[in-house]
């Protein structure tokens, strides 16, 4: 079993997030370090960052991951948007390092109906630019696989390794696999056989050494739909066998596994976390 948790609110200040993780019995949490709907949001002050570190010490061994803004397009063909994305990502790296966040997850970007290969190359260039500017930083950057909606790249394993291969600071790179995105992009992980085939392909194409985290989501849309729509665990088109495979896979026992399922109240995450923990060591559910 990995480090189970969920995306939690940082409302009122990032320093409030760790206690919210403990309240849902999480081993790991994901946060937005600032308002993810603004290009250049108000930065957490030095005192907020200090309080966050202190709050994390109280909630140990809780682990934290940040999710970068959805506004970013690190592969944009538009120079203004590309430069804004890079500036915003630099700020994200700064916030993560100030708070002691270990990983930052980001959606790689969109080609905007231009050449896909050029987009992937621009994403690598953007990462090289940002990691060079913050060469003394410690946060590791995780590329999230996408559902392939619209002109998004990152929905094939070849895209992920293509980006990584173009990055100079490979010691600061990794991948976050989202179960809903993977399913929607065409990787059928509904059965143990499909799970094995998918991650054998990941290992062959990318290499499992790059896999650092999971997003755990059921899917409202069918396999290969290329539509990004999360659903609560057990209520979507994935199966409980999918999640049984995840939490019982010996290769992933040390990795953070974070829920991003739709909830009306954060306490619902505690129920889903308990459901997933109950699958550990249990008999494989019927498909």
pTM, entire model: 0.96
248 in a structural domain: yes
284 in a structural domain: no
What does the alpha-carbon distance between residue 93 and residue 140 come to, in Å, rounded to a whole number?
A: 9
282 in a structural domain: no
SS3 126: helix
287 in a structural domain: no
The verdict on whether omega for the bond into residue 61 sits within 30 degrees of 0, i.e. cis, is yes
194 in a structural domain: yes
What does the alpha-carbon distance between residue 49 and residue 47 come to, in Å, rounded to a whole number?
A: 5
**Which helix (H) or strand (E) segment is 3 a member of?**
strand 3-7
pLDDT, mean over the chain = 96
Would you list the DSSP string of 189-205?
Answer: -SSHHHHHHHHHHHHHH
| Residue 287 pLDDT > 90 | no
Q: Is the dihedral of CA 208, 181, 78, 84 positive or negative?
A: negative
Q: What is the dihedral of CA 236, 238, 240, 242, to 10 degrees?
A: -150
Domain total in the chain: 1
DSSP 156: S
| Residue 44 pLDDT > 90 | no
Mean pLDDT over residues 37-60, rounded? Answer: 86
| Residue 270 pLDDT > 90 | yes
Q: Write the pLDDT tens digit of every residue in 118-174.
A: 999 999 999 999 999 999 999 999 999 999 999 999 999 999 999 999 999 999 999
178 to each of 34, 154, 181, how far by Cα in Å?
Answer: 22, 11, 5
The CATH number linked to 173 is 3.20.20.150
22 in a structural domain: yes
Of 40, 44, 55, residue with least CA distance to 13: 44
260 in a structural domain: yes
| Residue 60 pLDDT > 80 | no
47 in a structural domain: yes
- Residue of 73 and 43 predicted with greater confidence: 73
pLDDT band at 229 (very low <50, low <70, confident <90, very high): very high
pLDDT of amino acid 286? 83
| Residue 184 pLDDT > 80 | yes
Please report where in the chains the tokens 């708070």 appear, as a residue: 99
pLDDT band at 261 (very low <50, low <70, confident <90, very high): very high
Domain span at residue 144 reads: 3-277
């Amino acid at each position: 079993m990995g480090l189970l948790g969920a995306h939690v609110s940082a409302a009122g200040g990032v320093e409030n997030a760790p206690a919210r993780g403990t309240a849902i019995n999480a081993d790991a949490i994901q946060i937005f370090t600032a308002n993810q709907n603004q290009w250049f949001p108000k930065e957490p002050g030095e005192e907020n960052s200090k309080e966050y570190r202190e709050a994390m010490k109280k909630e140990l061994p809780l682990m934290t991951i940040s999710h970068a803004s959805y506004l970013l397009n690190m592969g944009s063909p538009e120079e203004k948007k590309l430069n804004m994305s890079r500036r915003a990502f630099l700020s994200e790296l700064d916030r993560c390092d100030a708070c002691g966040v270990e990983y930052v997850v980001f959606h790689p970007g969109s080609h905007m109906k231009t050449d896909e290969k050029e987009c992937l190359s621009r994403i690598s260039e953007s990462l090289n630019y940002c990691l060079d500017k913050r060469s003394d930083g410690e946060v590791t950057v995780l590329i999230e696989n996408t559902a392939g909606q619209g002109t998004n790249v990152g929905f094939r394993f070849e895209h992920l390794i293509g980006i990584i291969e173009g990055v100079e600071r490979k010691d600061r790179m990794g991948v976050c696999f989202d179960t809903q995105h993977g399913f929607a992009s065409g990787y059928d992980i509904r059965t143990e056989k499909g799970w094995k085939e998918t991650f054998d392909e990941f290992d062959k194409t990318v290499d499992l050494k790059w896999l650092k985290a999971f997003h755990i989501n059921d899917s409202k849309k069918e396999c290969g739909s290329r539509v990004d729509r999360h659903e609560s665990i057990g209520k979507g088109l994935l199966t409980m066998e999918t999640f049984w495979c995840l939490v019982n896979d010996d290769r992933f026992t040390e990795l953070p596994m974070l829920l991003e399922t739709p909830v009306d109240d954060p306490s619902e995450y505690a129920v889903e976390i308990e459901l997933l923990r109950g699958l550990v060591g249990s008999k494989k559910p019927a498909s």
